[in-house]
Amino acid sequence: MPGIVSSALRRLLHGALVLAAVSVLVFLLMQLAPGSYYARMRLNPQLSPRTVAALEAAQGMRAPLPVRYWRWLRSVAAGRWGYSFAYNAPVWPLVRTRVAHTLWLTLTALLLAWMVALPLGMWSAWRRGHWDSRAIAGGASLLLALPDVVLALALLALALRTGWFPVGGMHTLGSRHWDRWAQLRDFAWHLCLPVTVLVAGMLPTLVRHVRAAMAEALDAPYIAAARGHGIGEWRLVFGQALPVAANPMLSLLGLSFGALLSGSLVVEVILGWPGLGPLLWRAILDRDPYVVVAAVMLSAALLVGGNMLADLGLAWTDPRLATRGAAAASRSEAP
Amino acid sequence: MAPWAGAARAGSPVRSAPCAPARTGPAAAAAPPLLAVRGLDVCYGRTPALRGVDLALQPGEAVGLLGPSGCGKSTLARAVLGLLPPGGSVTAGAIAVRGRDVATLRRREWRQLRGAVVALAHQEPSQALNPVRRIGDQIVSVLAAHGWARRPARARAAALLAELGLGAGERFARAYPHQLSGGQLQRAALAQALACGPALLIADEPTSGLDAETRAAILSALRRRVEQGMALLLISHEPAVLAAVVARSVALPAGAAGEVPAAKRRVASVAGSEGEGVPPRRDEAPERTPNPGSTELSAVTGWNEATRRLSPRPLLRAAGLTKTYTRAGRRVPALEDVDLTLSRGETVVVMGPSGAGKSTLARCLAGLEPADGGTLWRAPEVGPLGVQMIWQDPAGALNPRLRVGELVAEPWRIAGGVPRRERERRAAELLEQVSLPGAWLRRRPAELSGGEKRRVGIARALALAPAVLILDEALASVEPELREDLLGLLAALQARRALAYLFITHDAELARRVGGRRLILAAGRMEADACPAS
C-alpha cells in the first residue's frame, strides 16, 4: 500500500510541475502575441494617450514580465486569478460561473458519448466482418468527416425553422419563477442541441478506439482458450475481454477530460451557450490576457487531473501495472 | 438433448468428480467411442495441415499422440474442440464425440461440450491465461460456466491447485499470470482444464518447459485421473513422457508435407508401451534446405575448440546481483547476490528448478529489467544491443500480426539505416542460416509450428550481430531431433561469430549436451559453480 500512496504523491508533484510550466509558457506566449488591450484603446480618438498610459501603468502592464508573473501568482493565491480589463473585474468570479455552465454541457456530452460508444464499439468488435459491424464503422467515418460547425449550423437552422428547440441560452426567460421540475426540464431542453453536436463530435473517435481495443482483446489466445473451456460468449466479452480492453479505453477517457473546457468552444459560440467559450473568444479578440491565462490553466489542470484519474484506473484494472509501480517503489525504498 | 448431457451435468458440487465420466465396462462396450476422428482433413487457407487422420478413443482410455514439430498435433486438438483459428477449416472427414458429429452442434451444445466433456490444456500456458485476472478466478469462471456455485467452485479451484503442487494456501489462487514462472503457469492452465472433471482431456505438451520434479508430479496427476476413468489424449514429442502415462501411442507423420503418399499419411496405430511407441518420423519437408551447421557431433566439438582458441575476454560480468519483487505487499526475493562472468565465445549453462529466478537473471543481464542491487558490467565492444535474448515462449515473443520477414528485419528497421530491399535480402539470408526456406518470409507466426517459431526467434536475435545470446529455456520443449538440429546450428554460429551463450535450462540432460561451464541457481542463489567434466 505505501507504494501506491508514494506513487500517487509523486504523480501529484509531477502534475503541479506541469501546471507551473504551462503557466510560464502561457505568459510568454501572451507576451509574444502582437497587440495588447491598451494598443487597441489607443486607437480610440476619445481617449488621450496619457489616459491610456496611466491606465496601463495602473494595471501594472508596464512592469517587466517576471514581475507581472509574480503578481499574477499572488493574485492566484488570493483567489482572484488576475484582473479582466474588458470587464473591469477580477477574473475568477467572471470565469467561475461560466466554467460551471460549460462543465454541465461537456460532462453531459462526455457521459452520453461513452454510454453510446461503449456498447456500439463492443458490438462492432464482436460482430467483426458482419454487416452491422460495417454499418457502425461506416457511420462513425461519416460522423468523423462531418465538421462540428456544419452540424451545429444545421441544427440551429432546424431549431429556427421548426421552433422545436431553443436557439440559444441555458434557460427560458422568466423560468426562474417556475417550480424546480419545470426548470430542470427547461434546462434539459436547452441542453439538447449543443450536447448533440458535442456527442456527434466525440462519438466516432470513441467508437473506433473501443472497437480496436475490444477486437484486440477478443483476438487474444487466452480468449480462445477460455472459449475452449466452455465459457459463454457473454462472459467472454464482459468478464474476460473487457477488463483487458479497459486499459486503452481508460487512457482515452483521461485525455477526453482535457477537452472538457476547450472542446466545446465553437459549439458554445454558435449555439449561444453562456459558457467559457464565448468569454474566451471575446477575451482573445480583446487581448484580455488574464482571462485567457485562466482558461488555459483550467484546461491544463483538467487534462492533468484526468490523466491522473486514468492512471489510477489503470492501476486498478491492470495488475501488471500495479506490480510494476510497487516494484519501482520498493526499489526506491532500498538503501 | 445432446447425447452427453446426462453425464456432463455439473450442477451439484459433489466431491467425487461432479461431471462423472462414463466408465468403461461391459455396458460401455456397445456405446460409441468417446472420440472418433475419421479421415480428417484440415486446411489453413489452401495449405493442408492435416490429411486423412483417423483416431478413436474409448471412454477411460489414454492414448498418446506422437509427431514431429509442425505435423499438426495442435491443429488436431483444436479441431476436436471446434476452435480452429480464422482461416482454418475442416475440409473432409468427421469428428464425433460420444457418437455425435460435432459439425451438427449448435453454439449452446458446443459450450456444454467444451470444458465439461472435452477439455484442452494448451501448449503455451502463458498465452492461455488472461493477464488481468487472478489464477483462482480463472479456474472458478470455468466451473461457473458449467453451472457451479461460487463457493464450492472456489474450494474446488484451491483443491485442484494443491493437487498439482501449487498449494501454499491462497497464494497461487490470488496470483496473476505474470507473477508465476513458466512451470507454475503450465500447472495453473492444467488445473483450469481439469476443473470440470472432463471425460476427455487433450493435453498439448503438458510437460514442456518443466523441471523433472514438476514434470513427474504432473504426469502422476494425469495418471491418477486416467485411473479414475478420464480419457486422455496426450500430445507430446517425447516417447518417454508418453510411456509414463499412456498404454497406446499413435504417430502423426508430418501432415502438411505434400510429398508423402496418401497411404503413409494415415495415422499408424501402434500398440505397446514402455517406449515402444513409434519414434517420431520426421518426413523431410521438401522445401527445407539442409542445415548449414550440421547435426554432426563434430560441430559441437568445434564449439568447444572455438572456446579454447580464444583467450577468455570477459563480455559481461555481474557481481552481487539482487532483485526483489513485491507481491501482494510481501517482498519475494528473486535473485540474491548472484555473481557471473561470461567471456567471448564461451558457453555458460545456468540450471535450476522452476521458479528459481532463472528468467529474472536473464532479464537483468539483458538489461530488460533493472537489478535492485549489485553491479552489472558490459565490455565496451558488446554495445547497447550486443546482448540478445531467445525466449522461453517462442509464440509470445513474436508479434502475431507481422510476417516472418518483417519480424526478422524488425531490429534493422528500428535501428534504421538499412534500406528496405537490403533488409529483405538479409532476412532471407538469416532464415537460410536457421534452415527455413526463404519463401517463409511471407508467413505469419500463427502458420508456424513451435519448432519453426524457435528458428525465427533465433534468426531475429542474430539480426543485430550480438556478442552474447541468452537462451531462456529456448530448447525446452523441442523434440530431440529438432533439438540436435538447433544445437548444431547454435554451435556453428558460435564457431563462426565467437558468440557467448548463456543457456538457461532445468534439463540436466540438455545441460550435459550443451557442455560449457555450469552454474546452479536455487531460490535466487548461485549454489555451485562447477566446471564441466571434460
* Beta strand extents in B454-524 (DSSP E only): 468-472, 500-505, 517-522
pLDDT at B272: 33
Residue A3 or residue B534, greater confidence: A3
pLDDT of residue B528: 58
Residues of chain A contacting B107 with CB distance shorter than 8 Å: 233
State residue B5's pLDDT score.
41
Place of cell 432546424: A158
pLDDT at A17: 93
CA distance B27 to B295: 53
Predicted ipTM of the assembly = 0.70
Give me chain A's average pLDDT, please: 83
- Please give the residue that has the higher pLDDT: either A260 or A237: A237
Crossing angle of helices B150-163 and B135-145, rounded to 10°: 120
Specify the pLDDT at position A329. Answer: 34
| pLDDT value, residue B254 | 55
Count Cβ atoms below 10 Å from residue B449 Cβ, excluding itself. Answer: 21
The answer, for A3 touching chain B at a CB cutoff of 8 Å, is: yes
Q: Which residues in chain B are closer than 8 Å to A227, comparing Cβ atoms?
A: 83, 114
Cα distance between residue A184 and residue B63, in whole Å: 72
Choose, out of B97, B118, B124, B130, the residue to mutate when testing the contact with A (most A CBs < 10 Å). B130
pLDDT of residue A275: 84
Q: Looking at chain A, which residue has its C-alpha nearest residue B141?
A: A231
Size of interface A-B (CB pairs under 8 A): 107
SS3 B478: coil
Q: Are residues A243 and B329, on separate chains, in Cβ contact within 8 Å?
A: no
Give dist(CA B343, CA B378) in Å, integer.
11
Nearest residue in B to A129, CA atom:
B86
Q: Cβ of A1 and B329 within 8 Å?
A: yes
Contact A320/B176, CB-based, under 8 Å?
yes
| Chain B interface includes A328 (CB < 8 A) | no
Closest CA–CA distance from residue B253 to any residue of chain A (Å): 26
Greatest Cα pair distance in chain B: 75
In this complex, the residue of B83, B116, B192 whose CB is nearest that of residue A227 is B83
DSSP B181-203: -HHHHHHHHHHHHHTT--SEEEE
Answer whether B309 touches A (CB < 8 Å): no
Question: Do B127 and A221 make contact, defined as CB atoms within 8 angstroms?
Answer: yes
Residues of B in contact with A243 (CB under 8 A): 130, 132-133
Q: Which residues of chain B have a pLDDT value below 70?
A: 1-30, 68-70, 168-169, 209, 253-312, 327-330, 477, 524, 527-534
Q: Does B87 touch chain A (CB under 8 A)?
A: no
A229 contact B CB<8A = yes
Interface of B with A in 2-61 (CB under 8 A): none
- A138 part of contact set with chain B, CB < 8 Å: no
The answer to whether the Cβ–Cβ distance between B326 and A323 falls below 8 Å is: yes
CA distance B400 to B445: 6
**pLDDT recorded at residue B276:** 34
- At A300-334, the pLDDT tens digits run 888 888 888 888 888 777 777 755 444 433 333 33
Q: Do B128 and A331 touch (CB under 8 A)?
A: no
State whether residue A221 sits within 8 Å of chain B by CB.
yes
Cβ of residue A240 closer than 8 Å to a chain B Cβ: yes
Task: Quote the pLDDT of residue A4.
Answer: 67
Distances (CA, A) of A241 to A205, A212, A225, B188, B189: 20, 12, 12, 20, 18
In this complex, is the C-beta atom of A4 within 8 Å of any C-beta atom belonging to chain B? no
Q: Does the beta-carbon distance from B114 to A244 stay under 8 Å?
A: no
CA dist., res. A51 & res. A59, Å (int): 12
CB-based contact (8 Å) between A318 and chain B? yes
State whether residue B373 sits within 8 Å of chain A by CB: yes
User: If contacts are CB pairs under 8 Å, which of residues 428-447 in chain B contact chain A?
Assistant: none
Please answer whether residues B521 and B350 qualify as being in contact, where contact means their C-beta atoms are separated by less than 8 angstroms. Answer: yes
Using pLDDT thresholds of 50, 70 and 90, give the confidence band for residue A21.
very high
Residue B295 burial (CB count, 10 A) = 18
Calpha distance B243→B275 (Å, rounded)? 5
| 120-159 in chain B: CB under 8 A from chain A | 120, 122, 124, 127-133, 138, 141-142, 144-146
Identify which of B58, B97, B373, B383 has the alpha carbon closest to the alpha carbon of residue B230.
B58
**Which residues of B are less than 8 Å from A239 in CB distance?**
141
pLDDT category, A137, cuts 50, 70, 90?
confident
pLDDT at B434: 78
pLDDT score, position A133 = 86
pLDDT of residue B273: 33
Most B CBs within 10 A among A6, A7, A219, A229, hence the mutation to make, goes to A229
Q: Does A173 reach chain B within 8 Å, measured CB to CB?
A: no
To the nearest whole Å, the CA of A4 is away from the closest chain B CA by 11
Residue with cell 509442425: B70
State whether residue B469 sits within 8 Å of chain A by CB.
Answer: no
Residue A181's φ and ψ, nearest 5 degrees, are -60, -45
A319 chain-B contacts, CB cut-off 8 A: 131-132, 176, 178
CA distance A216 to B42: 26
> Could you tell me the pLDDT band of residue A22, with boundaries at 50, 70 and 90?
very high
Across the interface, which of A222, A244, A320 has its CB nearest the CB of B178? A320
Taking CB atoms and an 8 Å cutoff, what residues of chain B touch A228?
81, 83, 114-115, 119-120, 122
How many Å apart are CA B61 and CA B526, to the nearest integer?
44
Using CA atoms, how far residue B3 sits from B79, B98, B194, in Å, is 20, 7, 21
Mean pLDDT of A115-143: 89
Strands A89-90 and A83-84: antiparallel
Contact A327 B325 (CB under 8 A): yes
Cβ within 8 Å of A, B 159-198:
176, 178-179, 189, 192-193, 195-196
Does A227 contact B114 at a Cβ distance shorter than 8 Å?
yes
User: Which residue of chain A is at minimal alpha-carbon distance from B84?
Assistant: A224
